[in-house]
Amino acid sequence: MKYSIFSLARAALSGHKNWQPTWRDAAPKDRYDVVIIGGGGHGLATAWFLASEFGIRNVAVLEKGWIGSGNAGRNTTIIRSNYGLPGNTGFYELSMKLWERMEQDLNYNAMVSQRGVLNLYHSDAQRDAFARRGNTMRINGIDAELLDQAALRKMLPFLNFDNARFPVQGGLLQRRGGTARHDAVVWGYAHAASELGVDIIQNCEVTGFTRDANGKVTGVETSRGKIGAGKIGMAVAGSSSRVAAMAGLRLPIESHVLQAFVSEAIKPLIPGVMTFGAGHFYVSQSDKGGLVFGGDIDGYNSYAQRGNLPVVEDVCEGGMALIPMIGRVRLLRQWGGIMDMSMDGSPIIDKSPVDGLYINAGWCYGGFKATPGSGFVFAHLIARDQSHKEAALFRLDRFQRGAMIDEKGQGAQPNLH
Amino acid sequence: MRIVCPFCGERELGEFTYLGDAKPQRPAADAGEDAVYDYVYLRDNIAGPMSEHWYHGGGCRAWLKVTRNTLTHEISAVEPAAGAGAAKVGV
């Protein structure tokens, strides 16, 4: 069904009894042109772009749990395109432009809110680094503003400007950045993809690949039977190594747990997204009123979807150092998601060495903001067997070639990205 | 998660730093680029019991070999791993 003010009014007048399910809960067919493994944001976006932009509608999305049960519903909902390295800069801006038209494209309210993303700096050296990144963004046509302390004191009077160790000197602001409601993003893609004929198959775990004599993948074995496929794309985040291993591949990826937190709901307090520059802490306020925040990954390999207390302490200390008043707010919930940490902190969107199998992985803890861009370039890769120009550097073999995209300069130690 | 250090006893996680999978061995100097690529970049990324190196920086400063289940965080064995860190930087 199409959502509009009229459909809302009609439903309201009939007591909200006539709403249709947002998407069809499909049963698997014998064969599809393309099978996407992973019904998170990236997988669903890929399916939708395949159907809407590239004319491939005989597509299935296989999800081992239910739509939105993984990282799609666990992230801190931030969208931004403030990257500094070639490869990342253009790709994330492509994604940002797709965020700006997503709701119209999908006919779904994803609550995209461009309330600004502010990275705070606390030293002269950090200011210079931020100025450089801001300039990189601006020469690539992306908005960025370097603000000094006086400007921030007007905007955010509650920051701990005179902290003896980490005074807030200013910040790099991307006004077009912000947040989006993460559940609505997956529901929106599921809705729009389903309308175009894509089968969304839940509770369907992939257990293996079927291959022909030449080694090409011809389908998947699942908990709901065999499904044939012309091409297979995998977008399974923290499970990337496990799924790739079924095809005999080892990836330059480790799975780590990242925790996120939400406070009790309070009146409007924090106007946009802000990040502490002297520790790892980022925060925004949801429309329900809770402060949504997070920090570093826990630092050890994990598939457990829950973290430990040292990082809880570290994140809360970061929050207290930056915004002392939030010590009065009670923590409501905390959870963990499994991040596919790559060896340079940047993603992999490429054909795999196995014919017919395409990889979308290595998002580290930055996958949410990339959702529409990732879907678009992955669909482009699958449909045309050729990388989109904005994803041309996200190659699987870049580590072998020494062509890393290491935004943080940490090297092959994924728990430091 | 707590780790029972063989030298210090049971200590909280914040005292320890993680290095990673203990299985990869640094290849010989003449092993060639592919072997080095494999060692530096590729990971088994085990879902289940995994042998890994931890450093007890907040205690005895010993390197430890910890067997831990990555699906549950359950630790089944901890033993000293002398030289683990040094091996990683190529002594």
Summarize pLDDT for A367-406 with one digit per residue, the tens.
999 999 999 999 999 999 999 999 999 999 999 999 999 9
CATH number at residue A201: 3.50.50.60
Per the structure block, which two tokens stand in for A320?
Answer: 């207290």
Decide if B37 and A400 are in contact by the 8 Å CB cutoff: yes
A4 lies in a domain?
Answer: no
Residue ending a domain, choose from A302, A321, A341: A341
CATH class of B2-89: alpha beta
Q: Domain end: A310, A341, A372, which one?
A: A341
DSSP bridge partners of A263: A331
Contact across the interface for B47 and A242, Cβ inside 8 Å: yes
The Cα–Cα gap between A394 and A401 comes to 12
Query: How confident is the model at residue B89, as a pLDDT?
Result: 43
Residue A231 lies inside a defined structural domain of this protein:
yes
Task: Assess whether A231 and A333 both reside in one domain.
Answer: no
Nearest to residue A319, comparing CAs of A76, A124, A112? Answer: A76
Tell me the angle at which helices A182-195 and A41-52 cross, rounded to the nearest 10 degrees: 30
> Using an 8 Å Cβ cutoff, are A81 and A176 in contact?
yes
pLDDT under 70: residue ranges of chain A? none
Helix (H, G, I), strand (E, B) or coil at B7: coil
Q: Are A191 and A108 within 8 A, CB to CB?
A: yes
Domain ranges, residue A403: 23-108+181-252+344-416
For residues A160 and A280, membership in a common domain is answered with yes
| Residues A77 and A202 placed together within one structural domain of the fold | yes
Contacts of A96 (CB under 8 A, 6+ apart): A79, A80, A81, A142, A176, A177, A369, A373
Do A273 and A325 belong to one domain? yes
A340 burial via Cβ count (<10 Å: 0-12, 13-18, 19+): buried
Per-residue pLDDT, A1:
79
Q: Supply the pLDDT for residue B85.
A: 57
CATH (domain of A136): 3.30.9.10
What confidence score (pLDDT) does residue B84 get? 64
Residue A120's SS3 state is strand
Residue A11 lies in a domain: no
Closest CA relative to residue B66, chosen from B27, B18, B34, B26: B18
Nearest CA in chain B to A344: B41
Q: Is position A2 within any domain? A: no
What pTM did the predictor assign? 0.95
- Residue in A closest to B74 by C-alpha: A304
Query: How many folded domains does chain A comprise?
Result: 2
A326-329, Cβ contacts within 8 angstroms, sequence gap of 24 or more: A326/A263, A326/A283, A326/A291, A329/A263, A329/A264, A329/A266, A329/A291
Which of A297, A326, A341 is a domain's end point?
A341
Q: How far does B69 lie from chain A, in Å, by closest CA?
A: 8
For residue A177, the model assigns a pLDDT of 98
Q: Do A189 and A104 fall within a single domain?
A: yes
Check B43 against A310: CB less than 8 A apart.
Answer: no
Residue A65 sits in the same domain as residue A188: yes
A-chain residues near B44 (CB < 8 A): 241, 250
Task: Tell me if A359 sits within 8 A of A396, measured CB to CB.
Answer: yes
Q: Is residue A273 a part of any domain in this protein?
A: yes
Residues 6+ apart with CB under 8 A from A357: A209, A217, A231, A232, A233, A234, A247, A351
Residues of chain B with pLDDT under 50: 87-91
On whether both A96 and A196 belong to a single domain, the answer is yes
